[in-house]
Amino acid sequence: MAESFNKAVLKTSSLGYVQTFLAKSGAGVLYSFNVYSVSGQYIQIHDRFTQTGGPVYTARVAADSNLAYNFTKGAQFSTGILFSTSLNPQNTDSTGSANAYFTVEYI
């Protein structure tokens, strides 16, 4: 029989406007994120704790806007939960502006 237990969802935010934000190092589950961006750019989410390799999620945020997303059942990450900004949706590009503010909920 599988063991059942509840974990409290944690909430973290960047300490100001950033280009990358490590929400969690190590395995975890992402439940939601909200990002405010001064400029129009792409938000990338990586399954790693350093900014190498392509993202697993990419979304566009308009200038002077918020982008919020809820993962109903949570999104599994095995290595880390890293956010970055990008000027285009290419998987290898991560050269966005350092003007995004992130709030993230995870376990």
pLDDT at residue 96 above 90?
no
Give the mean pLDDT of the chain: 90
Dist CA 42 CA 16 (whole Å)? 18
Exposure string for 57-96, b = 16+ CB within 10 A, e = fewer: ebeebeeeeebeeeeeebbebebbbbbbbbeeeeeebbeb
pLDDT score, position 94: 60
pLDDT score, position 79: 94
pTM: 0.89
pLDDT score, position 37: 98
